[in-house]
Amino acid sequence: MLWLYFLPLLAYLLGSVSSAVAIARVMGLEDPRDVGSRNPGATNILRYGGRTAAILTLAGDILKGVIPVLIARALTTDAVIITLTGFAAFLGHLFPVFFGFRGGKGVATALGVWLALNLWVGLALIGTWVLVAVLFRYSSLAAPLYVAWLSPGAPYLITMIVMSAILVFRHRSNIRHLIAGTETKIGQ
């Protein structure tokens, strides 16, 4: 049973594998940390590498959240271990040990965590993102809290509150651009 406490460490290490950097290397693109917004995420890859590279990056980032949580759920019912495992994968994406702790903003990996923790929360997040993206063409507006309504227990709620606070902090420049009316819209 004690080995279950190593699941968050393994999740952090998996989260530390940068999908954007890996996809850029495989596809012969520039390192996303050196071009555009310098963010190793799907949106930056989309802007300079195209849709295929962005879709692969997005899928990789989501899977970094899904896989460790599903493994944890298969091995234990302890909500604390399961949510810590998801949170660790999220932190690995933000602060990857393999890439000098320069990671992405974490939205896709957080989504992956929530899809695996509670499918309904994950689907609600996707639905909200799609609605906001279609109506306003801004991907940075979509960060709702559905966990209190759809997930049982304090570990889930605490995890969502902390992840949301970190996501808002990581997107502070996007928020400033939204307020100033200078945020880049999807497709621009």
pLDDT attached to residue 90: 96
**Tens digit of pLDDT for each residue in 59-81?**
999 999 999 999 999 999 999 99
At residue 188 the predicted structure's pLDDT band, cuts being 50, 70 and 90, is: low
In a domain, 91, yes or no: yes
- Is the dihedral angle over the CA atoms 34, 166, 109, 75 positive or is it negative? positive
- Interatomic CA distance for residues 38 and 97, integer angstroms: 18
In a domain, 186, yes or no: no
Q: Which domain holds residue 130?
A: 2-180
pLDDT attached to residue 141: 46
In a domain, 109, yes or no: yes
**Tens digit of pLDDT for each residue in 103-160?**
888 889 999 999 999 898 888 888 887 777 677 655 544 454 455 556 667 787 777 7
In a domain, 188, yes or no: no
In a domain, 138, yes or no: yes
In a domain, 165, yes or no: yes
* Total domains, the chain: 1
The tokens describing 183, both together, are: 């945020």
Where is average pLDDT lowest: 8-17, 100-109, 156-165?
A: 156-165
More confident residue, 71 or 173: 71
In a domain, 166, yes or no: yes
**Predicted TM-score of the model (pTM):** 0.81
In a domain, 185, yes or no: no
